[in-house]
Structure 1
Amino acid sequence: MTAPDFDSLLAAAAGRRFAFIVGWPVSHSRSPLLHGFWLKERRIDGCYGRLAVEPGGAALRATFDFIRRTPQARGCNLTLPHKIDALELLDVVTPAASRIGAVNTVVKRADGTLEGRNTDGFGFVEALRAGAPAWQPAAAPAVVLGAGGAARAVIAALVDAGVPELRLVNRTRQAAIDLGVRFTPDDGRTLVVDDWSRRAAALAGAGLLVNTTSLGMDGQPALDLALEALPTAAVVNDVVYVPLRTDLLRRAQARGNPTVDGLDMLLHQGRPGFAAWFGGSEPAVTPALRTAVAGDLGA
């Protein structure tokens, strides 16, 4: 195991309170730009950095021990591949994060223990509310493509929002079935698992389509999905934000569908963590913030 570079984090913080993003790789993360914007906007003497942490429990455990023993450390965000591994290494995990089965935000509590939270579902719903205010969760079925970590948070959020029917479609059917078993509502609402070969047919009558797969991301294959069966009033959301306007979003927009890109989910999911680490109320996602992060993405 290569030890994480804690000394660089401490040097950058220079005695200030700090949080950071943990991943492997992590150099692509825009979280430092996001939280740095809010720190500057609120004139808070704090720091938000990034830390490359190898996969496997040993390096992640060492990182959590570093947070516990360092007075200025307030917590961290987690990205791939650590969101699931963290569950067994933290002192406390909120019921929401436990239900989702993944942690993306770690907060050091007053007694020095670490609490794992998941704010991805919150960020997803807030992004929809901001980008597609006319969307009514209870009005029509929702289709979710993918069965990874992002899908877990999205599905849980849609169940809680009152979607009458969820249709899960994944390239590996068993993974979608496993999520279906985990998240099937207990109030009579329907959760359906469709084969990947039926992904276009699954769009009929839907009010929301969410792509949580990596298909369409820079460096990945395009998402091959015919949209003819999707009502033009349905909202199309892609959690991918590199590129900001994926091929799916461009095609949906061209046929008149309201669209929501992945950037707003990233921005909104950061709000609760920032407030927990640096105090005060949750910061706002403003046009200036979005412009700053989008500009860094080259959009």
Structure 2
Amino acid sequence: MTNAVSPTSPLVLGAMMFGTTIDEHTSFALLDRFVERGGVWIDTADCYSFWASADGQGGDSERVLGRWLAARPGVRDRVRIATKLGAEPLWSGSWPSGRAGLSRRAVRDAFAGSLDRLGVEAVDLLWLHQEDRRTPIEETVEALAELTGAGLTRRVGASNHPAWRIERARAHARVIGSLPLDALQLNATYLRVRPGTRPPGVEHRFGVLSDEQRDYADAHGLEVWAYTPLLAGAYDNPAKEIPEPYDHVGNERRLAALDEVSAEIGATRGQTVLAWHVAHGVRPMLGGSKLDQLDAAMEAVRLPLTSEQLARLDAAV
């Protein structure tokens, strides 16, 4: 692989709705602006976005990215592409019971399809989209080893997996001498959900970043990516309510601390949340559809928080 770009922004541009609810013209504009402002990581998946597509299957996002890469000679050397596999419906309407999964054959076939749609020879990070209890994790790791060994992906990571399966996967990778999973992608924001609840859109039992998952990542040097960090705009848009699972006394105190710090640094709540993630070494993901949203997020991840402000945000419970 020749892509040796150095990351200059911790923000990840999420391409989930490219080609479905976000048209190609807008998608290209967002991608261009992202690169112009120093963005590097672009995240997609083979199943994006089956729920919004005309045929009930994924692939539209990867196809749009592939056309953008083809239309921008040289841009591949300036960006890093991450995609996911394992959650694509086997047929329209079959999700979640009928999905591709993470067997050796499923991984091989899905990844070949992703490379074809993206129009690339390799990707920079391949995610296991969600766990597959039907398949031994060791089989999945061996399938990933074939891809990393052939130079088809630089790194491998896991989204929506419990910490114990990540550990088993990494242990087996060490046994067979392959590259271990080195990144986690999970739902994470400043507010905390009530125990036993999940935020809207999080279908996975282990989809919300827990203290255990974060502790595991810290102890073993795994990168953490946070999806839906801005609660779909609810931090700042008065027309959007903060989802009910976040409605509890502890979050009232956290919102008060967030308002205080936001006022001190001259930023919105959402921008402060992104800055808080970055201060904790977490890579936040943006899935917005407007250039002003992207600009605000690109500015936010460069906002400095003092150690005292960070401690105050962390202490609010």
Q: TM-score, normalised by structure 1?
A: 0.32
Q: Which has the higher strand share?
A: 1
Instruction: Output the TM-score relative to the length of structure 2.
Output: 0.31
